[in-house]
Structure 1
Amino acid sequence: MAKNTEDLKQVVDQAIAQQEVPHVKLNKMGPNSVDINRLTKPSKETRQEYWGKGLTYFAIILIIILVVSIIGFVGVHGLATFFGNHVNVFHFLTSTDWDPGDGKNHVGAAAMIVTSFSVTLLAALVATPFAIAVALFMTEYTSQKGAKFLQSVMELLVGIPSVVYGFLGLTIIVPVVRKLFGGTGFGILSATLVLFVMVLPTITSLTVDALKAVPKHFRQASAALGATHWQTIHKVVLRVATPRILTAIIFGMARAFGEALAVQMVIGNAVLMPANLVSPSATLTSQLTSQMGNTVMGTLPNNALWSLALLLLIMALVFNFLVRLVGKKGQK
């Protein structure tokens, strides 16, 4: 190291001594006037670069550890139902008998699985036409001020807590459903209407981004061929944006599938196979939130609830996989 420093010093001194054109900063410098140690040591900017990379890698590693820990923790406790308590997986997925306190033959989640998917699909079916219509209005018809106003409304809907949606559903939607369709008012229909309002901003915002991503020259080319505004939207804009719109719908479904508190307040929390849209039932999330505090860690009822959590985690991974799959097809 010392030899390299001496060699560098000789090169610098020779270059300064042989300079032919006077330099503003070097004209007063002569041999042996350069601090070689400063040239060989890392600068302040280099140290900042090292710190920045180190913090970035630390954050990435921390996130990876966190995700792996969550998946591992939920997986270990969720699988304990099948490996520790010896509950049959097929029975768990197909049976409607849910009463883990009575033994392993009464751990059936089929009713909650069917209800969760029913609520999610119905909410997506109801919200998607409204979301696409609002997104088209914001991007194709209204002025910039109107679009900003609607965007602020969507952001306001996103910021409302779930408990507020649940309370509004409990005090408004449930009585209306009870009056119009009979029964108690609790059930899949009430949960669908609440989730419709909750997922609408998500699907709308992502659909707006999808429509804005369509290149402007596509619209211009369609207009140049004589197409009307609506023909351009229907035949060009929507077709090009379809993969991104499907991604928006999947994100909305993931939001609806994982919602707990608002659904719990309006669905009735009865672990029964739904006979119709207005009969009380329960989703995976509503059962988790209502019963987790009433079980003892390590017992069959507690492990069964962790198995429901594992199902939710698997569905979250499935939704992410679908988003990536649709995104890749859209790029092609």
Structure 2
Amino acid sequence: MNLPESRSTADPAPPQTGKIAKHHLEEWRGKAYVYLCVLLLVVIIFSIVVFIASRGLTPFISQGVSIKEMLFGLKWAPEDDTPVFGALPFLVGSFSTSLIAALIAAPLGICASIFMTEIMPKTGKSVLQPAIELLAGIPSVVYGFVGLSVIVPFLRHTFPGQGVGIMAGAIVLSVMILPTITSIATDALRSLPAGLKEGSYALGATRWQTIARIILPTTMPALLTGVVLGIARAFGEALAVQMVIGNAPHIPHSLFESATTLTSIITLSMGNTTTGSLHNNALWSLALILLIMTFLFVFIVRLLERRVKRS
């Protein structure tokens, strides 16, 4: 007599197909959302580049302006009977203020980061770092107003000239880019492997010898990345520099003479031009130069980041 087989209690439970399908659906939605955001970002960036390039190249293609005249000309006279568009004074002003600001802010930012990470980490993290981060949240117009009220009178009474000029703009910009340089330098120093410092101390090196011969050379590419980003930030600043530089379209012979920058001339003149006119398109050409310089700074940062990864 054959007895019916009893069902084993250890049989596996049926798969939860509903939960698996729901999980795959949520994963597909997440990927689709991320890809859509990336695609939208690429389209926006590409559209900005195409729009600025189409406007900025018009004077050279169809309106008879020479690229050599634009880059190396000394006179900017768009209202003359024969308009002249020499942007060299603006390029000199932009590069001068940005580089001098980096020369001022880079030592301060790197020394502040060393203080916060190697000398007094607790005090630096609780006091100095929040104070520096607070500088990044101050609007540009406030920096410009402080520079106009404090820095310009100080330079006027200390050095020859009216106080406005390259040096005033560079000092204002140095304070504005200080948080960028300090933050990147601090992150680079904190990411340094502890074994390097411990090995240096084990060999008998002092703290300052370790900082000078181990920490700074090892993190130098990352520190230079912060400096380059600070220069890029200073190069594109408009309002604060416009308030203290004097806005004179000529090449200054002194750091205390009035000058102007690419961003200043664009913001001052764009509202007074007609869309499609030669003057308006020439301002778009200056904007295209700014965009190209931004890409150049990004390219330099990428090269420095590759050096960091290889090291």
**Contact in 1 for aligned 2:115/2:124 (Cα 8 Å):** no
The alignment status of 1:63 with 2:44, answered yes or no, reads no
The alignment status of 1:248 with 2:235, answered yes or no, reads no
Output the amino acid matched with 1:251.
L
- Are the structure 2 counterparts of residues 159 and 282 from structure 1 closer, same or farther at C-alpha, using a change threshold of 3 Å? same
**Contact in 2 for aligned 1:87/1:105 (Cα 8 Å):** no
**Contact in 1 for aligned 2:117/2:186 (Cα 8 Å):** yes
Q: CA separation in 1, counterparts of 2:7 and 2:126?
A: 64
CA RMSD of aligned residues (A): 2.0
- Across the two proteins, how many residue pairs are aligned to each other? 306
Equivalent residue for 1:22, pick from 9, 15, 24? 9
**Contact in 2 for aligned 1:123/1:196 (Cα 8 Å):** yes
**Contact in 2 for aligned 1:243/1:329 (Cα 8 Å):** yes
**Contact in 1 for aligned 2:85/2:282 (Cα 8 Å):** yes
- Equivalent positions of 1:47-196 (< 5 A) are 47-102=25-80, 105-196=83-174
- Are the structure 2 counterparts of residues 66 and 261 from structure 1 closer, same or farther at C-alpha, using a change threshold of 3 Å? same
- Are the structure 2 counterparts of residues 271 and 19 from structure 1 closer, same or farther at C-alpha, using a change threshold of 3 Å? farther
TM (norm. structure 1) is 0.88
Output the amino acid matched with 1:22.
T
Q: CA separation in 2, counterparts of 1:175 and 1:76?
A: 43
Equivalent residue for 1:201, pick from 169, 179, 182? 179
Structure showing greater radius of gyration is: 1
Output the amino acid matched with 1:271.
P
**Contact in 1 for aligned 2:116/2:125 (Cα 8 Å):** yes
**Contact in 2 for aligned 1:94/1:108 (Cα 8 Å):** yes
Q: CA separation in 2, counterparts of 1:211 and 1:163?
A: 32
Output the amino acid matched with 2:308.
G
- Are the structure 2 counterparts of residues 43 and 127 from structure 1 closer, same or farther at C-alpha, using a change threshold of 3 Å? same
Residues 183-205 of structure 1 show CA distances to partners (whole Å, capped at 9, x for unaligned) of 22110010011011101111011
Shift of 1:136: 0.6
Equivalent residue for 1:307, pick from 266, 285, 289? 285
Shift of 1:238: 0.4
Q: CA separation in 2, counterparts of 1:331 and 1:146?
A: 27
Output the amino acid matched with 1:320.
V
The alignment status of 1:287 with 2:265, answered yes or no, reads yes
Shift of 1:19: 9.6
Q: CA separation in 2, counterparts of 1:126 and 1:145?
A: 24
Residues 142-176 of structure 1 show CA distances to partners (whole Å, capped at 9, x for unaligned) of 14243232111111100000000000001111111
TM (norm. structure 2) is 0.94
Q: CA separation in 2, counterparts of 1:258 and 1:103?
A: 31
Q: Specify every segment of 5 or more residues in structure 1 that has no aligned partner in the other structure, as ranges.
A: 1-17, 27-33
Output the amino acid matched with 2:24.
T
Output the amino acid matched with 1:278.
F
Q: Which residue matches 1:325? A: 303
Q: CA separation in 1, counterparts of 2:281 and 2:244?
A: 26
Output the amino acid matched with 2:234.
A
Q: Which residue matches 1:13? A: none
Q: Specify every segment of 5 or more residues in structure 2 that has no aligned partner in the other structure, as ranges.
A: none
Q: CA separation in 2, counterparts of 1:19 and 1:197?
A: 83
**Contact in 1 for aligned 2:116/2:123 (Cα 8 Å):** no
**Contact in 2 for aligned 1:99/1:106 (Cα 8 Å):** yes
Q: CA separation in 1, counterparts of 2:235 and 2:269?
A: 18
Output the amino acid matched with 2:145.
F
Q: CA separation in 1, counterparts of 2:220 and 2:285?
A: 35
Q: Which residue matches 1:7? A: none
Q: CA separation in 1, counterparts of 2:6 and 2:251?
A: 91
- Are the structure 2 counterparts of residues 225 and 77 from structure 1 closer, same or farther at C-alpha, using a change threshold of 3 Å? same
- Are the structure 2 counterparts of residues 64 and 104 from structure 1 closer, same or farther at C-alpha, using a change threshold of 3 Å? farther
- Are the structure 2 counterparts of residues 44 and 282 from structure 1 closer, same or farther at C-alpha, using a change threshold of 3 Å? same
Shift of 1:182: 2.6
**Contact in 2 for aligned 1:166/1:261 (Cα 8 Å):** yes
Q: CA separation in 2, counterparts of 1:104 and 1:211?
A: 56
